[in-house]
Amino acid sequence: MEKIVIDNKLDPNFKYEIAAKPGGENIKKCFACGTCTAGCPVFHVEHEYNPRKIIRMILLGMREQVLSPMVIWLCAQCYTCSANCPQDVDFSDIMFALRDMAVKEGYAPPDLLEKIDKITTAANEFRRDSIYAILKEGDISMDKRYG
Ligand code: SF4
Ligand code: SF4
């Protein structure tokens, strides 16, 4: 016999709220091709973070399941997903909206965004210094400026 699962926590308005946010206009056009996930640098180091899956969960109304996990804070806001989407879904801006909702609805501490900005700056500084260090190890003379 077919089993029917009823989840009382599903929120049918969730996708409309996201669609009303800047960048969320095209979310209902997603046809689940997975191009966003395939090009996402975060997915390649953490498979729990899956843009395609997050969009399906939004469309199904899984508000709490989308807003509460730690993985939504991993997005690097690189816009690769938005640039590659064949349906013009702007997932990077959708992630901005999700984070904003997560803070406003008490799923995350209010100062988390500020802390993540500091981590991003520190990570970029580490990347810059590491690349310069590797290049300085070589025998080829290079200047770090243009001109
Ligand atoms: S690339 Fe666009 S259409 Fe494809 S799954 Fe991602 S959001 Fe949906
Ligand atoms: S903006 Fe976020 S979700 Fe999109 S590709 Fe970059 S890290 Fe992945």
Question: What pLDDT, in 10s, does the model give residues 93-121?
Answer: 999 999 999 999 999 999 999 999 999 99
Dmax over CA atoms of the chain, in Å, equals 73
Cβ–ligand 1 distance for 36 under 6 Å, the answer yes
Count CB-CB contacts under 10 A for residue 50. Answer: 18
For 18-68, how does the pLDDT look when each residue is reduced to its tens digit (9 = 90+)?
999 999 999 999 999 999 999 999 999 999 999 999 999 999 999 999 999
Q: Could you say which DSSP state residue 51 is in?
A: H
Domains parsed from the chain with CATH numbers: 14-108 (1.10.1060.10)
Ligand 1, pocket-test mutation among 55, 56, 59, 81, most atoms within 8 A of CB: 55
Cα–Cα distances (Å) from 141 to 127, 128, 132, in that order, read 20, 18, 12
Contact 79, 39 (CB under 8 A): no
Please give the distance, rounded to the nearest whole angstrom, from the Cα atom of residue 1 to the centre of ligand 2.
41
Task: Identify the CA nearest to 38 among candidates 79, 74, 80.
Answer: 80
- Global pTM? 0.88
For the CA of 77, the closest atom of ligand 2 is 1
Cβ(14) – ligand 1 distance below 6 Å: no
Are the beta carbons of 35 and 86 closer than 8 angstroms? yes
- What is the distance in A from the centroid of ligand 1 to the CA of 133? 38
